[in-house]
Amino acid sequence: MNIPTIEVGIMSAKSIDFQLNGRFLQATGEETVNGNGTATVTGDSSFILHLGDKQQTFDEFVLLEPVNEEEANFELHHVIIGVQFHWEREETQRFKGKLKIYVENGMLTAVNILSVEDYLLSVISSEMSATSSLELLKAHAVISRSWLLAQIEKGKQLKDANYKTLIRNEEGYIRWYDREDHSRFDVCADDHCQRYQGITKVSAPQVYEALKATSGEVLLYDNKICDARFYKCCGGVTEKFEHVWEPVVHPYLTQVIDNEIIPVGYNTGLTDEKNARAWILGNPPAFCNTHDHEVLSQVLNDYDQETQDFYRWQITLTQAEIKDLLLRKVGIDVGDVLDLIPVERGVSGRLIRLKIVGSKGEITIGKELEIRKSLSESHLYSSAFVVEKVSDSFVLKGAGWGHGVGLCQIGAAIMSAKGYPHREILMHYFPQAEIKKIY
């Protein structure tokens, strides 16, 4: 098998400014082009491209291909990163490979087409610090590669399947978010898929070494590439796939106690409200229960290091704030919020369904990301929380950071620091999977 290519959606805007550094070929022409370019939307399905001293109109897309991949690159200006996160910002980013700009519904989208291994070099360099240990980087290389190839495969299947991610009925508002949002490219460049900044940052020799050492290595289950997920911190226990996304069972994405032994004094049957409460309000030992700055700096970017309390956290929301959030973010008016009642929890204690009782009525929301988005301007750290009512406010006491399915990055960093090799780290978080080289 050859190294596959991937199409990454970088940005969408009415106008896109870019710069070609080196010689590029326009798919339709033989003349090479370079320098500054601007694509501007002119209608629902047309745009003008100014490039050098030329001006052309396109109906569908333009593809710009470097003559020599190793020598040429391109820059995109005003790329927004951290969309809807507290650290949202704009920057110029540089990319290797091809640039495709297409128009759809009066919007332009810039797509970068490149080899999977080049993409991984960038993604892992952006996600992880250059100081990360080699075994952690190797583990990350294998899951990022597996996840990516699994998404490309899944994307192909979804195109003709009747794929639903929203159920709205008398019972409530149950929604999950997944790749179905991208029909014109394989993955986006933000945290929704995997954070990708092209070759803006110089990739670390360690990352290159980890990729080379694991080239073509993926996780397999039942001879299929695993949908290997990861996130920042599980909170002590990992979650099942079907509790967060579509109701499909992946036996390798299941409950894993993120510790060498089952923590003494706790019952890890966390779908039970009483056990979940004791777990979330407690401080059980776990690989990811750490404040080790040196290890944390290996997995968290500068802006993520602003977050200190991720293993156990707490926020307070007033009744009025929740009412306002629900109205704006979910479009639901339940009146004054009287109670938040856990209805169903997953195996990590994360809420899958939460009932909101208001003066005008009640609604049940889910799944975990919908709950996190509904009760916060951006996202709650996780949906593993318990609710305490204090006069006209609700105190949410929570555990973990992220969806909790698959590899716990902070836990894996600690495992690596303790000397676990990458295969053991992977087998810990993806029980029943096997590691195999496919190219």
Binding interface with Zn ion (CB under 5 A): 188, 192-193, 234, 258, 288, 408, 411
Minimum gap (Å) between residue 276 Cβ and Zn ion: 16
Query: Cα–Cα distance between 207 and 121 in angstroms, integer?
Result: 7
Query: Cα–Cα distance between 174 and 179 in angstroms, integer?
Result: 17
Minimum gap (Å) between residue 400 Cβ and Zn ion: 7
> Would you say 357 or 427 has its CB closer to Zn ion?
427
Using H for helix, E for strand and C for coil, what is the string for 393-406? EEEEEEECECCCEC
Return the structure tokens found at 214: 């694991």
Minimum gap (Å) between residue 99 Cβ and Zn ion: 19
> Would you say 370 or 394 has its CB closer to Zn ion?
370
CA angle in degrees (0–180, nearest 5) for 124-88-295: 40
Q: Is 129 left (phi over 0), alpha (psi -120 to 50) or beta?
A: beta
Specify the DSSP element, H or E, that contains 94.
strand 89-95
> Would you say 9 or 358 has its CB closer to Zn ion?
9
Among 335, 332, 371, 338, residue whose Cα is nearest residue 353? 371
Minimum gap (Å) between residue 311 Cβ and Zn ion: 8
> Would you say 221 or 231 has its CB closer to Zn ion?
231
212 contacts: CB under 8 Å, gap ≥ 6 = none
> Would you say 354 or 408 has its CB closer to Zn ion?
408
φ and ψ at residue 396, rounded to 5 degrees: -100, 120
Query: Cα–Cα distance between 405 and 394 in angstroms, integer?
Result: 27
> Would you say 353 or 372 has its CB closer to Zn ion?
372
Q: Alpha helix (H) ranges present in 217-284? A: 273-281
Query: Cα–Cα distance between 388 and 247 in angstroms, integer?
Result: 30
Strand partners, 98: 113
Write out the E strands in 241-281: none
> Would you say 58 or 401 has its CB closer to Zn ion?
401
419 contacts: CB under 8 Å, gap ≥ 6 = none
Minimum gap (Å) between residue 182 Cβ and Zn ion: 6
> Would you say 207 or 408 has its CB closer to Zn ion?
408
Return the structure tokens found at 310: 């991720």
Minimum gap (Å) between residue 188 Cβ and Zn ion: 3
Whether 401 contacts 383, CB under 8 Å: no
Whether 428 contacts 257, CB under 8 Å: no
Minimum gap (Å) between residue 185 Cβ and Zn ion: 9
Count of CB atoms situated within 10 Å of the CB of 329: 14
Beta strands at 187-188 and 5-13: parallel, antiparallel or unpaired: parallel
Query: Cα–Cα distance between 261 and 48 in angstroms, integer?
Result: 62
> Would you say 234 or 340 has its CB closer to Zn ion?
234
> Would you say 228 or 325 has its CB closer to Zn ion?
228
